Structure 1
Amino acid sequence: MMESIDNISIKGYTHIPYHTDTCTVEESVVKSNSFYEWLDTRRSVREFSDRPVPRELIENLIKSASTAPSGAHKQPWTFCAVSNPIVKTQIRKGAEIEEKENYEKRMSERWKKDLEPFDTDMNKPFLEEAPWLIVVFKKAYEYDDKGNKHNNYYVNESIGIACGMLISAIHNAGLVTLTHTPSPMNFLGKVLGRSSNERAFMLLPVGYAKQPTFVPGLKRKELDEVAVFYE
């Protein structure tokens, strides 16, 4: 029997053993299909219940998102969780100012036509109705203890992966969300008092779905429309 190794050193850095549950090929196929079918039930929801969501639950969601891979493991993100009703009102006001500009001046007629199935407009009541708002900021660079600036790597890719994992974690907890990206989002940094190296990337209202809630009966693309296999 081989001795278990606690850790090894590579170029002076500690590496620890990686452990995972082993599965047969058949078990892996079943698990992957079950995961797909569960994830396929996720929908973007704009109507939220007033049912409270404990802070501990939000903390767990953020910790899950922060397990995402990132360029050189710099973890270039900050998750700002907001439940304060005054701050949520400030965020809604700022978002609706930008959305008004979008709908009246910036967005093409085709874009607005494509949004019709979602029954959305410049008014964003969910920003006050959802128990929590999670505003995700990306860090383009960091400062060390001496005040020296250091760029992060693959920031957009890293933060995008983290947001995808956050959305999955929200769904796993029986909560709902939608991705909201009022553009530009500079007002979010001002409202939340973030530093100059943090830029708002995405805003996610989080809570339980209002009952009953109806969502567009959309059809996702089939596998052969989104994947190409080279075997």
Structure 2
Amino acid sequence: MALLTFDDGFREFYDIVAPVLERKGIYSINFINPCFIDNQELMFRCKASLIVDKLEKNKNINPEIYKILGSKQDINQHILQIHYSQKEILDRLAKVLEIDFNIFLKKQKPYLNFEQLNTLTRKGFGISSHSWDHPLYNELALDQQLETTRKTFQYLKENNFLYESFAFPFTDFGVNKDFFDVLFKNKELFCTFGSAGIKLDSIEKNFQRIPMETNENAGLLIKKEIAYFRVKKIANKNKIVRK
């Protein structure tokens, strides 16, 4: 038995992926960020990509860009490495470059809307939690980790989506035991998901997913994961231990 999951609630899931899966009789879960539903906001990494794209098309860079970044070296890489906690920098850069994220959202509609979420649910697809606005959890304080998770849980419950599960945005690497201890006091929460491949976890209800973001054949990738797990098991390093 396998669970097929998708992340981030992008519209392509509704337009392209879901119809293909439905024809094959396969159903999956899409872990969403409620902040972005109905194209109300754009995830900070997506903002960074739009900014870099604009810079690559411009031969002359506004000196104000260097001032905001505090550097003239590798500015594209610098922008792509901006953290969640620094995301206001992206809005400042966009203003200088005359990039309007709201116009982009209105025209491109990259995310699912509420009606599409309900349609997917009626068809048999699951909609569940991926945090409120896609932060990297190991960069957040414990109270921030819990706030973004609980806020999403409440949204899903109020709108009759799947609120019993949660998948970490980016990764669960560096998330301490304290977070899980508090989170699982909510008895309605069944499990959480990381994305570290085939591994055991000292948190029994935290399951690791196999990322499939490369162009590698899925069957071959799974075989590699199984082989790697067995090798790590010999050295007793096939389990994530949280402190």
Give the structure-1-normalised TM-score: 0.23
**Greater fraction helix:** 2
Rg: which structure is higher? 1
Give the structure-2-normalised TM-score: 0.22
**Greater fraction strand:** 1
Q: RCO greater where, 1 or 2, for CA within 8 Å and sep 6 or more?
A: 1
